[in-house]
Amino acid sequence: RRSSGRRRRRGPAVEGSLPRDGGSMRCQQVSVLYFARSAELAGLRCETLSVPREITSLQLWEEIVKAHPRLAVIRDQVVFAVRQEYVLLGDQLLVLQPGDEVAIIPPISGG
């Protein structure tokens, strides 16, 4: 059923930040792995999330925090990895493939 001409949004979008070609907005299923404090805050160790194929690293983090708001407290300390490569949170564009792994690794303390 369609409502008064409004379009439904599919996934996150930040105006002007994502390419507008046909394939960029398709969603991909990615595996998100939570370690240490991030696992405690999220309440789980892994899950599958559906996110746009092309997304900035910051937008990806925001999607994860949307699913688990308690993770917001570690934003400035977290190490973020996509396909086992460290990624800075920012405007770096990621092109995700189905099944890609995203790891959320908070700082490890010890001595």
Domains and CATH numbers, the chain: 27-105 (3.10.20.30)
Inter-residue contact 89 to 58 (CB < 8 Å): yes
- Looking at the predicted structure, is the pLDDT value of residue 107 above 90? no
Q: Which helix (DSSP H) or strand (DSSP E) does residue 30 occupy?
A: strand 27-34
Neighbours of 79 (CB within 10 A): 17
- Looking at the predicted structure, is the pLDDT value of residue 80 above 80? yes
- Looking at the predicted structure, is the pLDDT value of residue 38 above 80? yes
Q: Does the reported pTM lie above 0.75?
A: no
Helix ranges (H only) for the chain are 36-42, 57-67
Percent of the chain whose pLDDT exceeds 90? 62
pLDDT, greater one: 101 or 12? 101
Contacts of 83 (CB under 8 A, 6+ apart): 100, 101
CB-based burial, 98-111: b 16+ in 10 Å, e otherwise: eebebbbbbeeeee
pLDDT of residue 110: 57
